[in-house]
Amino acid sequence: MNLKLETTPSGFAVSISGRPILAHSAATPCFFVGQGNDTIKMHRGRFAIEDRLAERCPLAYAAIDGNTILLSAAKEQPPRLAVTLEGNALRLRSLDPTVNRLWLRIVADLDEHVWGGGEQFSYFDLRGRRFPLWSSEPGVGRDKTTEITFKADATGHAGGDYYHTNYPQPTYISSARYALHVETSAYSVFDFREPSFHEIEVWVIPESIELFAAPTFVALVEMLSARFGRQPPLPEWIYSGAIVGLKDGANSFARLAAMRAAGVKVSGLWCEDWVGIRPTAFGARLFWDWKANETRYPGLRQRIAELNDQGIRFLGYVNPYLANDGVLFEEAERAGYLVKDASGRTALIDFGEFHCGTVDFTNPDAAAWFSEDIIGKQMLDYGLSGWMADFGEYLPVDVRLASGVDARLAHNLWPVLWAEVNAKAVASRGRTGEAVFFMRSGFTGAQKHCPWLWAGDQSVDFSRHDGLVTVICAALSSGLLGNAFHHSDIGGYTSLFGNVRTPELLMRWSEMAAFTPVMRSHEGNRPRDNLQLDGDPVVLAHFARMTAIYVHLSPYLRTLSQEAAKRGLPVQRPLFLHHEDDLRTYGIQDCYLYGRDLLVAPVWQASQNQRSLYLPAGIDWIHVWTGQSFAGGQEISVAAPLGQPAVFYRAGSEFEALFAGLRA
Residue type for 305, please? A
How big is the CA angle at 559 (ends 553 and 562), to the nearest 5 degrees?
135
Half-sphere exposure of 38 (CA within 13 A, CB side): 18
Residue type for 186, please? A
Residue type for 99, please? V
Asked if 13 and 20 count as a contact pair (C-beta separation under 8 A), the reply is: yes
Asked if 388 and 320 count as a contact pair (C-beta separation under 8 A), the reply is: no
DSSP state at residue 338: B
Quote the CA–CA distance of 453 and 445 in Å, as a whole number. Answer: 13
Hey, how many other C-beta atoms are within 10 angstroms of the C-beta on 378? 19
422 Cβ neighbours under 8 A, 6+ residues apart:
371, 375, 389, 437, 439, 449, 450
Hey, how many other C-beta atoms are within 10 angstroms of the C-beta on 492? 29
Interaxial angle between packed helices 537-552 and 554-567, expressed in degrees from 0 to 180 and rounded to the nearest 10: 60
How do strand 598-601 and strand 355-358 relate by DSSP bridges? Answer: unpaired
Q: How many helices (H) and strands (E) in the chain?
A: 13, 37
Quote the CA–CA distance of 546 and 507 in Å, as a whole number. Answer: 9
For residue 330, give Cα distances in angstroms to 73, 76, 334, 346, 396. 55, 61, 6, 11, 21
539 Cβ neighbours under 8 A, 6+ residues apart:
503, 506, 507, 531, 533
How big is the CA angle at 533 (ends 528 and 538), to the nearest 5 degrees?
120
| DSSP track, 582-601 | -GGGTT--S-EEETTTEEEE
Return the H-helix or E-strand segment holding 148: helix 147-156
| Catalytic site positions | 390, 393, 457
Asked if 241 and 547 count as a contact pair (C-beta separation under 8 A), the reply is: yes
Hey, how many other C-beta atoms are within 10 angstroms of the C-beta on 509? 26
Asked if 218 and 564 count as a contact pair (C-beta separation under 8 A), the reply is: no
Quote the CA–CA distance of 584 and 15 in Å, as a whole number. Answer: 27
DSSP state at residue 74: S
For residue 413, give Cα distances in angstroms to 163, 186, 191, 439, 454. 19, 9, 22, 14, 18
557-586: string of b/e by CB count within 10 Å (b at 16+)?
A: beebbebbbeebbbbbbbbbbbbbebebbb
Q: Which one, of 470, 473, 540, lies nearest residue 510 by Cα?
A: 540
How do strand 178-183 and strand 81-86 relate by DSSP bridges? Answer: unpaired
Asked if 127 and 192 count as a contact pair (C-beta separation under 8 A), the reply is: yes
Question: Rounded to a whole number, what is the distance in angstroms from the first to the last CA of the chain?
Answer: 50
156 Cβ neighbours under 8 A, 6+ residues apart:
44, 352
